[in-house]
Amino acid sequence: MLQLLLAMRLTRRDIERFPAAVHLIVAEALEEARLSPPMGCSMATYELILRPELAAHAQLPFLETSTGQPHCGRVYKEDSLSARCPPTGGLETDAPAQLRRDDMDNMDTKLLRLRFPDDMRVDEVRRLLNSSEPVVIEVQQAPGTSDHEFIEEQEKQLFALCARTMTLPLGRGMFTLRTMLPRPSESLVMPKLCLLGKEPVKGTTIEMQQIEFPANMQMWPSFHNGVATGLKISPQAQDVDSNWIVYNKPKTHSHNALEHAGFLMALGLNGHLRTLSFMSVYKYLVKCDEMTNVGLLLGISAAHRGTMDTKTTKLLSVHLEALLPATAMELDIPQSTQVAAIMGIGLLYQGSAKRHIAEVLLQEIGRPPGPEMENSIERESYAMTAGLSLGLVTLGQGESPAGLRDLQLPDTLHYYMVGGVKRPISGSQKEKYRLASFQVREGDTVNIDVTAPGATLALGLMFFNSGNAAIAEWMKPPDSRYLLDMVRPDFLLLRTISRGLIQWENVQPNNAWFQAQFPRALRAHLKLPFYENEYAPEDHDVDYEAISQAYCNIMAGAAFCIGLKYAGTENMVAFATLRSVIKDFLRFPSRPMGECAGRTTVESCLMVLPSLISLVFAGSGNCEILRIIRFLRSRVGPQYPHITYGSHMAIHMSLGLLFLGAGRFTISQTPESVAALVCAFFPKFPIHSNDNRYHLQALRHLYVLAVEPRLFLPRDIDTNKLCLANISVLEVGATELRRLPIAPCILPVLSSLQQVVVDDENYWPVCFERSRNWHQLERALEMSAPIDIKKRTGCLSHLEDPDRLKSMLAQTLTMEQSICWQIDMNDLQQFASERMVKQFLSRCLDTNGTDLSPPELMKRHQVMLLFYNAVVKDRMHFLPVYLTLYDHVTKSMPNNIDVWQMKLIDAYLSRSQESEHPLISVELIQMMQELFKQEMEDSTRELCLPLREFLSRRRLDPSYVTTVSGPDLQRAFCVINYYNLMPNMLNGVDLSTGTVNYLRLMYEFRRLNLGAHTIFGLMKILQSLATEVVTLDEAALLAYTMGDQ
């Protein structure tokens, strides 16, 4: 039936024009499809079966990107960015202006209020990440302290707090990620990075004037501030073109230029720099501004990631001497720009295994210093970035690419990792490095302090998830105390990470796997009483400092592997393991192990952990992790000299990750995402704000390349408001559904799921199944679009009825199997939340205290029964059919159309007993039949003579029509049609005697092959004419006529 209606292109409006009985028959066939809808059908199919939420799902694959106008239609539809308090359009007051300074004014969304309704964690995060207000300096002036000394103390406290303030943009960029659609007619306003303080009582402004501080202290923080602002712009924004980007370019060179450099990088990370024209790129680069070049090169490379774009390759080659011919003119390119360019090459050629690129990057890992002042500073950052780029180019390829085998990449990288005699330099720049550096003296061996980090991570990324035992053995910590002393402790951290990358499938979140990462020699020393008690060591042959530092770094490396492997999964076992490791590190400073390892080592390893535990719960807003972060953030001031700028950077990055994209995003687990996370969370954070020695600070923002939208956001299709709903998932290989936290929530990794089901008792079920309608779910998640669901009749939302007590009371009516004959208006008030129900009750059934006559009361009662049946069975769409059928049976002057409708209803009754979900209950149909039957019997009794004359005629001629009046003729034909009467029926029966012989008549009618209904009508006519009245029973008559006699 459904396929036939679709083939005929009939809509629901066309079906509503059918006669009532035909409409009933067609609608019941569609009702079966409505209750058990097919998956993966067209929008027209779901509109036909009245499932508007499924029709909306069918539109999801064709959903276009936003135009920048949040709500273009007349109906306001809430989405993931809808504000909790929409703007009223009135004049702005001073209070909202204060809130807008922090660049997080759009974070008070209905989504966050739905996810976290019982606390103020979002407001707390916003307060912690606010960098636009002066910090409070709470320093008391001790007795005997001069004003000058007191001011210096205040400024020292301010300087310590500025180290924290300058890292806030990194966390804010994560928190506000992709939450804004800019208007093309307005320029983007950068929030202020305030490095001032104020007294808590007087409110006096405090500036750093008496103490010394670095001149360019605010350079990189301003860059991060620009990145944070640019990351707010959603990739779906269509008006971010070349003209708009140039329009936002600052007019003067100041901190705005530094922020604009970060802004360019953010646009590239979100894919907007693909539209930047060539001339605009040239105008940016020709100014030779270091920060602008860094942001632009990284942004363009990220926008063209994995494409091997020729124009971008040429652009990067200009800034990389190794990619230029030997005869090319030497350019004075800053070291940070070269680092950005070499990372851009890795991003551009990601996963390509391009031989020439791999060969150049391999050489750059061991690039020597000199010959003059070149490559003499921040060499570690350059070599490490070259290793990361090589890992990106050969990501997961191992030794499979045939074109790379002659390069012997694994052996060369192992040589850079463990050291050895220097090999001859090859490549286009070999002539340049014949002379030794005039500033750096290295000797004849490889400087593994420079080359080891990049080579180690390059091997890990190159053999990612390969399980190569030989390469993994290289990364294994030494199993003897002597060999352990030969390896720098922080290199053990990188080796542990690379080993986890290689043996990716073997990484487990439990404590057993974690403890297995420590070598036997180290575990033996860990059992010494020294590590548990506070007396001094007696064995002077043991280097307790080296062992303690090795232990801390291996712990951090193993935790790093767990955080990467289970990023975005919300795995509770991983959470418990990482939380235990964090608590261990927090206890180390008060134990001998912490004293041996040193506060700096303990702090550097500890700062790796908050980001890891936030990676596992990215976008979840976990309150316990928030407490840990808030505690770590509170360690500030001169009493914490080991807390550095990098410590605050790691803490605020973990805070931003926890609320990634205002709770709308999480972390992907693809190989490309893992590589981006390794680049972004490289476990060596800067000491001060200008520190780029080991890792370029701009690379911290590459986490954007690993972001994945997996937010399941339900929306009530009737009210167009976001709502709460219970959902379950069926994992691949499982047989039972697993209940998730109430939606909105982050879904597990889609590749591990087979079904996602909305199985909430308050809403109609919705199922997304792989290979059926999975593409609808993927598109909705990609666009962060809400999933429309429809509420069941009588049910309230979880916000209106958290305990479902009201809904359960209303559902006591909907669950009953039989129909009620006496309806209380108060029962129907339980459903008054629906607009149509409320209007019908107030306009049609509410008497407002008016006295009704008995016929009016009877009609109101019968209409109440029909309305009740429509409401409690969630069939308000069928109420017009109920009322039309009732009108057919209660007409004072029925016509032949009414008769045919009731005859179709009779046929429907016999079929509806086989249907599991009949649209009209048997009781209501029988009530209608009895009412109409009574009307036909009354007409038969009153028109017995004309009917007898009709039955006695041999044929119907015009003379019969003229002998009967108009109204009586219509009633007579209704009776004839109702009982299937024909002329000449009585001519074969002797009716001359005064008393009718009923047994003989029934025998004669049976001999004429007449039906029981027709015989009953004939007997009614003859009974009205007979002198002796005999009561007839239709059931007995039916039994007789169907018998053998």
Please say whether the beta carbons of 825 and 861 come within 8 A: no
Nearest to 304 by CA among 262, 360, 346: 346
For residue 692, CA distances in Å to 112, 310, 875 come to 36, 29, 68
Contacts of 153 (CB under 8 A, 6+ apart): 139, 145
Q: What is the DSSP annotation of 706-718?
A: GEE--EE-EEETT
SS3 211: coil
Dihedral (CA of 876, 880, 881, 884) sign: positive
Most confident of 47-61, 321-335, 570-584: 570-584
Contacts of 483 (CB under 8 A, 6+ apart): none
Go through 312-337 and write b for each residue having 16 or more CB atoms within 10 A of its CB, e for each that does not.
Answer: bbebbbebbbbbbeeeeeeeebbbbb
pLDDT at 823: 62
Please say whether the beta carbons of 441 and 370 come within 8 A: no
Please say whether the beta carbons of 675 and 464 come within 8 A: yes
- Does residue 813 surpass a pLDDT of 60? no
SS3 45: helix
Most confident of 48-62, 712-726, 886-900: 712-726
- Angle, in degrees to the nearest 10, between helices 854-872 and 879-889: 150
Looking at residue 842, the DSSP 8-state letter turns out to be I
**For residue 533, is it left (φ>0), alpha (ψ between -120 and 50) or beta?**
beta
Higher-scoring residue by pLDDT: 221, 836: 221
Task: Average the pLDDT over 62-70 and give the result.
Answer: 52
For residue 754 the two structure tokens come to 């087979």
Nearest to 680 by CA among 715, 706, 718, 714: 706
Nearest to 615 by CA among 528, 683, 533, 695: 683
- Does residue 712 surpass a pLDDT of 80? yes
Task: Average the pLDDT over 749-763 and give the result.
Answer: 93
- Does residue 642 surpass a pLDDT of 70? yes
- Does residue 90 surpass a pLDDT of 50? no
Q: What is the DSSP annotation of 805-823?
A: HHHHHHHHHHT-SSPPSS-
- Amino acid of residue 149: E
- Reported as a pLDDT band with limits 50, 70 and 90, residue 817 is very low
CB atoms within 10 A of CB 774: 18
86 preceded by a cis bond (ω within 30 of 0): no
**447-487 residue pLDDT tens:** 999 999 999 999 999 999 999 999 999 999 998 888 888 89
d(CA 746, CA 743) in angstroms, rounded, equals 8
- Amino acid of residue 1031: T
pLDDT at 215: 80
- Does residue 110 surpass a pLDDT of 80? yes
pLDDT at 1040: 47
Task: Average the pLDDT over 591-603 and give the result.
Answer: 87
**For residue 144, is it left (φ>0), alpha (ψ between -120 and 50) or beta?**
left
Please say whether the beta carbons of 454 and 386 come within 8 A: yes
Range of lowest pLDDT (152-166, 281-295, 351-365, 415-429): 415-429
Task: Average the pLDDT over 305-311 and give the result.
Answer: 95
Range of lowest pLDDT (623-627, 668-672, 1027-1031): 1027-1031
Average pLDDT, the chain: 84
Higher-scoring residue by pLDDT: 807, 104: 104
For residue 474 the two structure tokens come to 């290289």
- Does residue 66 surpass a pLDDT of 50? no
- Does residue 503 surpass a pLDDT of 60? yes
CB atoms within 10 A of CB 729: 20
Range of lowest pLDDT (16-20, 33-37, 806-810, 1037-1041): 1037-1041
- Does residue 95 surpass a pLDDT of 50? no
pLDDT at 611: 96
For residue 576 the two structure tokens come to 């418990």
Contacts of 235 (CB under 8 A, 6+ apart): 178, 270, 271, 272
Task: Average the pLDDT over 20-41 and give the result.
Answer: 84
pLDDT at 721: 93
d(CA 699, CA 686) in angstroms, rounded, equals 12
Q: What is the pTM of this model?
A: 0.86
Distance of CA 344 to the CA centre of its chain: 30
**For residue 988, is it left (φ>0), alpha (ψ between -120 and 50) or beta?**
alpha
Counts of helices then strands in the chain (DSSP H, E): 48, 14
Nearest to 1001 by CA among 1011, 980, 1015, 1012: 1015
Q: What percent of the chain has pLDDT over 70?
A: 84
For residue 298 the two structure tokens come to 């990284």
- Does residue 563 surpass a pLDDT of 70? yes
**For residue 574, is it left (φ>0), alpha (ψ between -120 and 50) or beta?**
alpha
- Amino acid of residue 590: S
**866-920 residue pLDDT tens:** 777 777 777 777 777 777 777 777 766 777 888 887 888 777 766 655 666 667 7
- Does residue 273 surpass a pLDDT of 90? yes
d(CA 466, CA 353) in angstroms, rounded, equals 16
Please say whether the beta carbons of 619 and 143 come within 8 A: no
SS3 507: coil
pLDDT at 828: 63
Looking at residue 844, the DSSP 8-state letter turns out to be I
Looking at residue 845, the DSSP 8-state letter turns out to be I
pLDDT at 324: 87
Dihedral (CA of 489, 491, 495, 501) sign: positive
Q: What percent of the chain has pLDDT over 90?
A: 46
pLDDT at 830: 59
CB atoms within 10 A of CB 687: 15
Q: How many residues does the chain have?
A: 1045
- Reported as a pLDDT band with limits 50, 70 and 90, residue 685 is very high
At residue 873's C-alpha, the angle toward residues 867 and 875, to 5°, is 65
CB atoms within 10 A of CB 761: 13
Burial of 942 (0-12, 13-18, 19+ CB in 10 A): middle
| β-bridge partners, 666 | 708
Distance of CA 46 to the CA centre of its chain: 24
SS3 767: strand
**947-994 residue pLDDT tens:** 877 777 777 666 666 667 777 888 888 888 888 888 877 776 665 554
Go through 642-674 and write b for each residue having 16 or more CB atoms within 10 A of its CB, e for each that does not.
Answer: ebbbbbbbbbbbbbbbbbbbbbbbbbbbebbbb
Nearest to 760 by CA among 735, 801, 789: 789
- Reported as a pLDDT band with limits 50, 70 and 90, residue 17 is confident
CB atoms within 10 A of CB 610: 26
Please say whether the beta carbons of 707 and 660 come within 8 A: yes
Higher-scoring residue by pLDDT: 185, 699: 699
**735-755 residue pLDDT tens:** 999 999 999 999 999 999 999
Range of lowest pLDDT (60-64, 220-224, 789-793): 60-64
pLDDT at 652: 97
Most confident of 18-22, 1000-1004, 1027-1031: 18-22
Task: Average the pLDDT over 561-577 and give the result.
Answer: 96
pLDDT at 914: 60
Range of lowest pLDDT (683-687, 804-808, 871-875, 926-930): 804-808
Contacts of 1001 (CB under 8 A, 6+ apart): 989, 1018, 1019, 1022
Q: Report which secondary-structure segment, H or E, holds 771.
A: none
pLDDT at 36: 86
Beta-strand runs (E) in 607-734: 666-667, 707-708, 711-712, 714-716, 721-722, 727-731
**604-618 residue pLDDT tens:** 999 999 999 999 999
